[in-house]
Amino acid sequence: MVRTPAAVVVALACSVAALAGCGASTQERAEAQLQDRLDGVHGGFLERRALDPIATGTAAADSLDHWSYSLQTTYAEDSVTFLRTIDAKVETGGGLWYEQVSLGACVEVVVEYGDGGDDRGTVTTEPVACPAGTDLPGADGPAGTVTDLDGRSDDVGVPPYVPPVCYSGGDCSRGGG
């Protein structure tokens, strides 16, 4: 009787499990990547709002969406709302087992103004149905549109400390010495 070393058995079992699809599917990986995109959009709006928490109306929109990436911007007395698209593309395998999944979603980012002082406002980011005719870059048509992502809502924090920059001769930004 021939005895097979345990390491060979474990390696063979792992190989079979990987080929059988025990890892995350391409679809699941694309959905996770799309959720990461939503989280990134949310974090970006939080960061930009922390740097300029007083602005309202078009001044707030300009500081939050400087490059006009939003499809729509809506103003209210106590908030500004942005409609954005996000997308994700995952490719796996190669040759005969090549698979590609492209997903897209629309997200609504609502920036509620604070009352001043410690209340710097709130940023809420939620997936929403895309308006008719919205072109989602990278999405595999309507089947590639996702709306079941997890939304986020956070209070706007204090901006991170940025140390002063001083140049020789005493010229300092932000009041440094």
Residue 111: closest CA among 31, 51, 67, 162: 51
Average pLDDT of the chain is: 84
Predicted pLDDT at 60: 97
Residue 102: closest CA among 34, 23, 21, 22: 34
Q: Per-domain residue ranges for the chain? A: 23-157
Question: Is pLDDT above 70 for 169?
Answer: no
DSSP secondary structure code for residue 167 in this structure: E
Rounded Cα gap, residues 111 and 79, in angstroms? 5
Using one digit for the tens of pLDDT, what is the confidence trace for 125-148?
999 999 998 888 767 666 678 889
Residue 86: closest CA among 152, 34, 144: 34
Predicted pLDDT at 61: 97
Query: 48: alpha, beta or left, given left = phi > 0 and alpha = psi -120 to 50?
Result: alpha
Rounded Cα gap, residues 145 and 106, in angstroms? 8
51 contact partners, CB below 8 Å, separation of at least 6 = 63, 159
pLDDT, mean of residues 41-68: 96
Q: Lowest-pLDDT range, 68-77, 95-104, 163-172?
A: 163-172
The three-class DSSP label of residue 57 is helix
